[in-house]
């Protein structure tokens, strides 16, 4: 038996205990907040596999509390026994899903296209439109953020009615583009400002035109920023409810509108509600997990100047 020669002094042990309790507190708070963030998603998933009595008893853990049944998914036509059969509900759901995908992708793409061009121009050239200088034009674009959607909603309702754009995807795409454009310009301005202009100068000396330099030199460098802006716009447009609820009725409904309109005559069937909600949030959960880097990059771009 060997005798331990070096001992920690009591002071050091106290520090260690304090450090340890600090760790416990930090991880405790982190785990608590993670539960707060994730539990609703868990609840949505498990509820979609419940039957009425399971919901009423508030069972939480599948296979232990209750036996999972695919009742909720059957009501969407997506359960194992109905997936190969004809299903009008599924048709309906897929149509809404498709509408959401199209509007979100197109409006985000359009916003990134218009916004990147504008942001590049504003960060590289000096303009004069009448009394407006560069800073005024930037402010004009960014000030659109302040505009609450409700101000535009009713005029657009009337305008779209006379333009026969009500209840069309194009109408929604145009409006969504407008709502995310300031955010895209904000992110992209930051991106372009970080690219040294010497790169373009070199390209111009080598005989490229301004647009050529933009497309071949600047765009590849700014691509991560563009992806970030695109993803952020995608999140906002996918979840948009207000305009979709006002401006669409039967053809161009997006998923949030479909989720919101699920009130059955004999009470709410929570299981199908949960299945539908989960199907609506699933794409963004996937994007959030896979592309988290870009989302954070996009949001961070504006914060730190």
Partner 1 sequence: MAEQGDFLHVVTNDNITQRRMAFGRALMWGSALVLGLVALAQTLQETGHADFGFSTWRPTLYAYVLWAICLCWGQVLIRGERGKRVLFVLPAALFVVSMVVFPLLFGLVIAFSDWNLSSPTGRAFNGLDNLRQMWTDGFYWNALANMVRYTLAIIVEYAIAFGLALLLNSQIRARKFFRVAFLMPLMLSPVAVSWMIGKSMMEARFGPLARLARELGWENPSFFGTPEMARLTIMVMDAWTYIPFMMIMILAGLQAIPKDIQEAAKVDGAKAWRGFWEVTFPLMLPVSITVILIRIIFKLKLADIIINVTAGGPGGATDSVTSFIFREYRDRSNVGYGTLLAMVYLVLIVIAITIVMKLTDRWARPRY
* Nearest residue (CB) to partner 1, 7 versus 278: 278
For partner 1, which residue of 14, 157, 202, 215 counts as binding (CB under 8 A)? Answer: 157
Dist CA 232 CA 174 (whole Å): 17
271 and 55 Cβ atoms separated by less than 8 Å: yes
SS3 content of the chain, % helix, strand, coil (to 5): 70, 0, 25
Site string for partner 1, 167-206 (x = CB under 8 A): -------xx-xx--x---x-------x---x--xx--x--
The CA R_g of the chain, rounded to the nearest whole Å, is 26
User: How many other β-carbons are positioned within 10 Å of the β-carbon of residue 230?
Assistant: 24
Name the minimum Å distance from CB 240 to partner 1.
Answer: 9
Of 29 and 223, which CB lies nearer to partner 1 in the complex structure?
29
Minimum separation from the CB atom of position 70 to partner 1 (A): 18
Q: What angle (nearest 5°) sits at the alpha carbon of residue 139, between those of residues 133 and 141?
A: 105
The single residue listed with the structure tokens 């599948």 is 62
> Does residue 7 bind partner 1 (CB under 8 A)?
no
Instruction: Please select the residue that binds partner 1; options are 13, 17, 24, 285, rule is CB under 8 A.
Output: 285
CB nearer to partner 1: pick between 70 and 277 = 277
Report the alpha-carbon angle 259-260-266, nearest 5: 90
Half-sphere exposure of 58 (CA within 13 A, CB side): 0
In sequence order, which residues have a C-beta less than 8 Å from that of residue 270 and are 6 or more positions away? 47, 50, 55, 72
Query: Looking only at residues 43 through 62 of this chain, which bind partner 1 when binding is defined by CB under 8 A?
Result: 43-44, 47, 55-58, 60
Binds partner 1 (CB under 8 A): choice among 36, 64, 80, 220 = 36
Residues 187 and 298 sit within 8 Å (Cβ to Cβ): yes
Min separation Cβ 231 and partner 1, Å: 10
Interaction with partner 1 in 254-273: which residues (CB under 8 A)?
Answer: 255-257, 259-260, 262, 268, 270, 273
8 A C-beta contact, residue 183 and residue 233: yes
Least gap, CB of 196 to partner 1 (angstroms): 9
Q: Which of 51, 121, 167, 227 binds partner 1 (CB under 8 A)?
A: 121
H helices of 194-218, where? 198-205, 210-213
Cβ-contact 299, 254 below 8 angstroms: no
Sketch the per residue contact string, 208 through 247, with partner 1: x for CB under 8 A, - otherwise.
Answer: -xxx--x--------------------x--xx-xx--xx-
Nearer to partner 1 among residue 153 and residue 221 (C-beta): 153
Stretch that binds partner 1, among 2-10, 66-74, 85-93, 274-282 (CB under 8 A): 274-282
Nearer of residues 7 and 209 to partner 1, judged by Cβ:
209
Q: Which residues contact 134 (CB under 8 A, 6 or more apart)?
A: 122, 126, 127
Specify the 3-state DSSP secondary structure of 244. helix
Q: Is 98 in the site for partner 1 (CB under 8 A)?
A: no
For residues 1 and 37, which CB has a smaller minimum distance to partner 1 in the complex?
Answer: 37
């Amino acid at each position: 038996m060997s005798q331990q020669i070096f001992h920690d002094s009591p002071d050091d042990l106290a520090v260690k205990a304090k450090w340890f309790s600090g760790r416990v507190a930090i991880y405790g708070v982190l785990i608590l907040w993670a539960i707060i963030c994730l539990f609703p998603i868990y609840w949505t998933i498990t509820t979609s596999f419940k039957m009425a009595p399971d919901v009423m008893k508030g069972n939480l853990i599948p296979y232990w509390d209750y036996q999972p049944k695919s009742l909720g998914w059957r009501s969407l036509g997506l359960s194992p026994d109905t997936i190969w059969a004809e299903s009008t509900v599924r048709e309906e759901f897929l149509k809404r899903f498709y509408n959401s995908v199209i509007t979100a992708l197109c409006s985000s793409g359009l916003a990134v296209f218009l916004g990147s061009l504008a942001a590049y121009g504003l960060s590289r050239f000096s303009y004069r439109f009448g009394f407006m200088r560069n800073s005024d034009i930037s402010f004009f674009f960014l000030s659109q953020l302040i505009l609450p959607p409700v101000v535009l909603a009713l005029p657009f309702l009337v305008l779209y009615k006379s333009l026969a754009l009500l209840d069309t995807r194009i109408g929604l795409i145009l409006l969504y583009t407008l709502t995310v454009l300031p955010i895209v310009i904000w992110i992209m301005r930051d991106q372009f400002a970080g690219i040294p202009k010497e790169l373009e100068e070199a390209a111009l000396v080598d005989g490229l035109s301004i647009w050529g330099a933009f497309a071949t030199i600047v765009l590849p460098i700014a691509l991560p920023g563009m992806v970030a802006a695109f993803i952020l716009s995608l999140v906002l447009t996918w979840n948009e409810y207000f305009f979709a609820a006002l401006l669409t009725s039967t053809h161009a409904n997006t998923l949030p509108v479909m989720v919101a309109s699920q009130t059955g005559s004999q009470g709410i069937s929570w299981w199908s509600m949960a299945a539908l909600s989960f199907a609506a949030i699933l794409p963004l959960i996937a994007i959030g997990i896979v592309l988290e880097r870009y989302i954070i990059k996009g949001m961070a771009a504006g914060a730190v100047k």
